[in-house]
Amino acid sequence: MMKRIGIMTSGGDAPGMNAAVRAVSRKALTEGLEVFGINYGFAGLVAGDIFQIDAAAVNDVIKRGGTMLYSARYPEFEKEEVQLKGIAQLNKFGIDALVVIGGDGSYHGALKLTQHGYNAIGLPGTIDNDIPYTDFTIGFDTAVNTALDAIDKLTDTAASHERTFVVEVMGRNCGDIAMWSAVAGGAADVIIPEHDYDIEKVAAKLKSARQRGQKHAIIVLAEGVMHADEFADKLSKYGDFQLRATTLGHVQRGGNPTAKDRVLASQMGAYAVELLMQGKGGLAVGIQNNKLVSHAMTDLFNSKHESHLELHQLVEDLAY
């Protein structure tokens, strides 16, 4: 019978991770379980950096960005001998099951633990929104709003100096942050890995807009395509657009999570505990059509997140 559960955050930090830690902790405590936090992800598990969490430990963390459990990448966990060291620590602390908050790499580690007999549930904590079988990941909405705030400010400068800004946003090989912030920011164009682009057509669009009196523009570029400086250099060969390149970088990972991310993390965290109490493991939690769902982690490894590519077309339609 499950008596103790562990929680860890792994991989890149995402706003809302603390809200998820709080939800898992409070839900588990409500159900009469003991809760243990694992610092620094799988690296901390192997090192035994583990401590007990009570209700007071997660007071007010729902509003904080980053992760109170810290995070670290630990590719060494792919080796079975390293996994067994982690399991020895689970045995030492009497931990029966785990909730792992992170992205694709974190899910691989969680699945390994499940295969060794320690049920683990994965929560999608990543700003990239690149996890299959979930419409949204924890941290995505906050990252989009951070990018949008920067785009709004850059638009003011672009208008003042009649410039075109190429704004590079994060997302690895997923263009969701780029598309959502481009639509919300009124961008002239969005360049993403999932859709081909023609640099000459981008230039022609900017020239046409200038002829109609629109002398400034924002182009949102997903980092999975190329760097902003490189794109601006290529575009400059087709006209004098007064180009400036801006890379937003890791600022998109920080900050207080939005209400949407706090609610999503809370829902997913509580649901993860429910799944563990049912004796389930090797599952990843998601939200589809506003309903909580769970899928086998093995299914996720063979699938790809489906981006809302209609947003790419919407940018095109509204950039007239």
All structural domains of the chain: 4-139+257-302 (3.40.50.450), 143-254 (3.40.50.460)
Residue 195: the pLDDT is: 96
**Residue 44 annotated as lining a ligand binding site:** no
64 annotated as belonging to a binding site for a ligand: no
**Confidence at residue 131, expressed as pLDDT on a 0 to 100 scale:** 96
Q: How many residues does the chain have?
A: 320
Residue 1: pLDDT over 90: no
3-state secondary structure 169-183: ECCCCCCHHHHHHHH
Residue 212 is assigned to a ligand binding site: yes
The kind and range of the H/E element at 18 are helix 17-30
Do 219 and 187 touch, CB atoms closer than 8 A? Answer: yes
In the predicted model, is pLDDT for residue 320 greater than 80? no
pLDDT of 50:
98
- The predicted pLDDT at position 319 comes to 87
Q: Compute CA distances 211 → 164, 214, 215, 237, 244, whole Å.
A: 14, 7, 8, 19, 20
pTM of the predicted model over 0.75:
yes
What tokens were used for 292?
A: 């909580």
Question: pLDDT digit string (tens) for 301-315?
Answer: 989 999 989 999 999
Q: Which residues are catalytic?
A: 128
86 is in an annotated binding site: no
Residue pair 5/96 in contact (Cβ under 8 Å)? The answer is: yes
**Mean of pLDDT over the chain:** 96
Q: What integer pLDDT is reported at residue 252 of this predicted model?
A: 97
pLDDT tops 80 at residue 213: yes
pLDDT of 128: 97
Consult the annotation and say whether 262 binds a ligand: no
Q: Where does the pLDDT of residue 73 fall: very low under 50, low under 70, confident under 90, or very high at 90 and above? A: confident
Region 34-48 average pLDDT:
98
Q: Does 269 count as an annotated binding residue?
A: no
Q: Is 239 annotated as a binding residue?
A: no
pLDDT band with cut points at 50, 70 and 90 for residue 104: confident
128 in a known ligand binding site = yes
pLDDT tens-digit profile of 254-299? 999 999 999 999 999 999 999 999 999 999 999 999 999 999 999 9
24 is in an annotated binding site: yes
